[in-house]
Chain A
Amino acid sequence: MSITIKATIPEGPIAEKWSNYKAKAKLVSPNNRKKLEVIVVGTGLAGASAAASLAEMGYNVKSFCFQDSARRAHSVAAQGGVNAAKNYKNDGDSVYRMFYDTLKGGDFRSREANTYRLAECSASLIDQAVAQGVPFGREYGGYLRNRSFGGVQVSRTFYARGQTGQQLLLGSYQALLRQQNAGKVKLYTRHEMLDIVMIDCKARGIIARNLDTGAIERHGAHTVVLATGGFGKIYYLSTLAMGCNASAIWRAHKKGAFMANPSWTQIHPTSLPQSGEHQSKLTLMSESLRNDGRIWVPKDKNETRLPGIIPEEDRDYYLERKYPAFGNLAPRDIASRAAKEQIDLGKGVGPLKNAVYLDFARAIKEYGQEVIAERYGNLFTMYKKITGIDAYKEPMKISPAAHFSMGGLWVDYDLQTSIAGLFAIGEANFSDHGANRLGANSLLQACVDGYFILPYTLQNYLADEIRTPKTDIDHPAFKETEMKVREQLESFLKCKGSKTAEEFHKELGKELYDKCGLLRTKEGLQKAIENIKKLRKEFRENLLVPGDVEEVNSELEKAGRVSDYMELAELMCIDALQREESCGAHFRAEHQTEEGEARRDDENYCYSAAWEWTGNPSSPVLNKEPLVFDTVTPTVRSYK
């Protein structure tokens, strides 16, 4: 039986909701804050900014990451920029405009109030980052510079060359380390969270494995925050870091936290194409390149000439042709699908015919190579390192790749999951981007959740915990959870099969990409579910992991992550199967217009699907959060 769930959205008109919330939220006095402990898992932009901000307020924070330093979390890899409604360009931007763009970009499948809050807090983030010493691009007069990004018609993106994520992350990492130095943050690097510990139906701690020694550790707190990012790595080939995983959120899900819209994965249009079987990841080229690069394929699928000598009349600038209003800056889901369409028609370029051209010839002619180099120099250099090709001389070859998880743990307006005391922020939650995320909104969401929202909402929760004593890690709940974690790790080692976790992961990823990627069909999804079940069975019986638990063992780490992917993959397919409509990144072949565009069904599917774990990965329960649009009227999303 599915139930209808509510997100506890504050009263009032949309522009006043967050102010109303803040005005009424409960507070904790400074004296009490120092008695309370908070666990934050993940040190990307969301985790580091939350941990630093909470520590500054006086809470005792324990911060965990699996990397060897907090500075390496995958926020570091975001290139293009971060959006904010500052309207420095005087080009008609406003909080409302940004809210609307984000909502429309997400194909009207996100929660109005959350999306508005994201836009509302965006300007403060730029102030905060600048104050931390983030070297954003500047005009010659000394004021901040902006550029435009996919899916919008204003210039609201702030950037630090092609390394915006790195610079923002260093800002929050430094803020985090400043609090470590002040004794308010205890940092646990090379620690992987393996389970949530629940006491009296509340999240009160975690079990973590020290990856340097293999020791299983217990950590208690008054509340737990998951900032563990997205799970696009489930497709194996993706733009994510090798270590990115779903384990923290999946294990929380198995403890009772709902997973919302898990199948909504953004496939990024501008990644480098796969070059062979050995490949371990796909490198992203920033979407900002689409500001000056023009995307095209040869009109003739049997074209053999080099791109430079193909005359204009034999090229198809298909994005400019199909979406004249937005052209090469069409949103990501649309640009990716259009590329797939051309590739499927046999017009793909490159040795495997799996790419399209991204051409800078006109921009170089117009602005000169120097200007283009200043804008994208590091991307051109990276492109040359990987492919051996000079993109100043011939067009880049790009291809779609799995990138961002719009889905994630279901959270209410407070960013609290369906487990009391367990919060999820940043990409780990599902809340702000609907069925498709706009470029440069991801860094923003991570930061806004961590710097500006959680400090209010977590405090609102902790206000009722001031009498709760320090969590006792000898509590039976800790013992039991630790034992289960240990049993699972040992079961991987005992299996002694013949296939490595990586080999299973590759197979799973391919299955998912083919059937639950850019294009989904009922038949394909049903087939995928069957295949995933078979693969999961094989994984249990034929996994090969060397070594022991109590030592450095990267194969064991992978096994745990792949084991979770095996279950999550099925839920993604189930989620995609139940949604008999197309919206944003979720494109069901059965539901398209005559022109091949997504056909949404607001009458029947205007909800977020929040899945509940039942103990059997094949039979989750669907709960629905209806999406209510009080402020805007959902329209057909057109970029023509």
Chain B
Amino acid sequence: MKIYLKIWRQKNSQSKGGFVDYTLTEVSKDMSFLEMLDMLNIQLVKKGERPVEFDHDCREGICGQCGVMINGIAHGPLKHTTTCQLHMRSFEDGDTIYVEPFKATAFPIVRDLKVNRSSLDHIIASGGYVSVDTGQAPEANSIPVTHEQAEAAFDSAACIGCGACVASCKNSSAALFTSAKISQLAQLPQGNKETPQRVVSMVNQMEEEGFGHCSFTEACQVECPEDISVLNIARMNYEYNRSRLLKK
């Protein structure tokens, strides 16, 4: 296949970026999208040019490190798929593909397609955990958790932290990411004791990091590789309001 690429190149967070055109021939349908970028990079390096910097690691769709906007869609055209799991069979010979970084105030660009998503870590650090030290745990079966509870908690816990929800949101809100962790822990007896403090500190941290507010367009769930439900956001809001009311 012949593929025309328009890739966002930017030297660092301060400099001005722009699209640069590249053409690749002999792209195979079995290649993953990132392997296609690998192919481009080898060619660029051989020509004495700088390769396109992009983030990736496991290439199995689980680590959450990869993620770019492909033709304006986070992780590209396939539903519930990370960039690394997207294959070139999703494109046609002669297609033009726009590749951009995830853009958000809270995700400054590091170089080209690499962004800094440590703001998501800061949200977790503000309360996304159960306060249990090593050694304090009781016998695992001493607190039963129903099958349904465990499965529901898992559905929320499946978030891979890639940031596609933020990149897809017109307000660059991290509500889906934040609420998924709040919901997971709120639905488990081990985690729900701390819900009132957790929800307030995580929501505050989200604002502090420069993420926008949620206005319920639900674009986040549509583009989420793990199909994390927007109902998590509803639960977060419920828990937040409950916590504020209880305080009064």
The residues of B that contact A177 with a CB separation of less than 8 Å are 121, 124-125, 128-129
Interface segment, A275-283, A320-328, A468-476? A275-283
Contact with A along B105-130 (1 / 0, CB 8 A): 00000110010111011001111111
Query: Does B62 make an interface contact (CB < 8 A)?
Result: yes
Q: Secondary structure at chain B's binding surface: helix, strand, loop or mixed?
A: loop
Measured CB to CB, the closest approach of chain B to A176, in angstroms, equals 9
Most buried by B among A72, A161, A243: A72
Whole-angstrom distance between the alpha carbons of A174 and B202 in the complex? Answer: 13
The residues of B that contact A86 with a CB separation of less than 8 Å are 140
Whole-angstrom distance between the alpha carbons of A131 and B190 in the complex? Answer: 6
Query: Does B213 make an interface contact (CB < 8 A)?
Result: no
- When the two chains form their complex, are residues A144 and B140 in contact, meaning their CB atoms are under 8 A apart? yes
Find the B residue at minimum CB distance from A145: B147
The range of chain A's interface size is 35 or more
The residues of A that contact B111 with a CB separation of less than 8 Å are 551-552
Query: Does A574 make an interface contact (CB < 8 A)?
Result: no
The residues of A that contact B215 with a CB separation of less than 8 Å are none
- When the two chains form their complex, are residues A133 and B188 in contact, meaning their CB atoms are under 8 A apart? yes
- When the two chains form their complex, are residues A180 and B140 in contact, meaning their CB atoms are under 8 A apart? no
- When the two chains form their complex, are residues A554 and B121 in contact, meaning their CB atoms are under 8 A apart? no
Whole-angstrom distance between the alpha carbons of A136 and B57 in the complex? Answer: 25
Contact with A along B127-170 (1 / 0, CB 8 A): 11111111111111101111101110110011011000000000
The residue from A70, A280, A552 contacting B110, defined by CB atoms under 8 A apart: A552
Query: Does B50 make an interface contact (CB < 8 A)?
Result: yes
Measured CB to CB, the closest approach of chain B to A505, in angstroms, equals 12
Whole-angstrom distance between the alpha carbons of A289 and B156 in the complex? Answer: 24
- When the two chains form their complex, are residues A127 and B140 in contact, meaning their CB atoms are under 8 A apart? yes
Q: Known contacts A241-B57, A242-B57, A280-B59; is A69 also within 8 Å of B85 by CB?
A: no
The residues of B that contact A390 with a CB separation of less than 8 Å are none
Whole-angstrom distance between the alpha carbons of A139 and B111 in the complex? Answer: 47
Query: Does A429 make an interface contact (CB < 8 A)?
Result: no
Query: Does A170 make an interface contact (CB < 8 A)?
Result: yes
- When the two chains form their complex, are residues B121 and A70 in contact, meaning their CB atoms are under 8 A apart? yes
- When the two chains form their complex, are residues A132 and B46 in contact, meaning their CB atoms are under 8 A apart? no
Q: Known contacts A127-B139, A132-B132, A174-B129; is A68 also within 8 Å of B124 by CB?
A: no
- When the two chains form their complex, are residues B145 and A142 in contact, meaning their CB atoms are under 8 A apart? yes
Task: Name B's A-contacting residues (CB within 8 A).
Answer: 12, 28, 30-32, 34-35, 38-39, 42, 45-46, 48-51, 53, 55-65, 78, 81, 85, 87, 89, 110-111, 114, 116-118, 120-121, 124-141, 143-147, 149-151, 153-154, 157-158, 160-161, 184-185, 188, 190-191
Additional pairs, 13, CB under 8 Å, beyond known A69-B120, A131-B130, A554-B51? A71-B124, A130-B137, A130-B143, A138-B150, A138-B151, A144-B141, A160-B157, A163-B158, A174-B128, A177-B129, A241-B63, A278-B28, A283-B59
Please name the 4 residue pairs, one residue from A and one from B, whose CB atoms are nearest each other, closest first. Answer: A142-B144, A174-B129, A131-B137, A127-B137
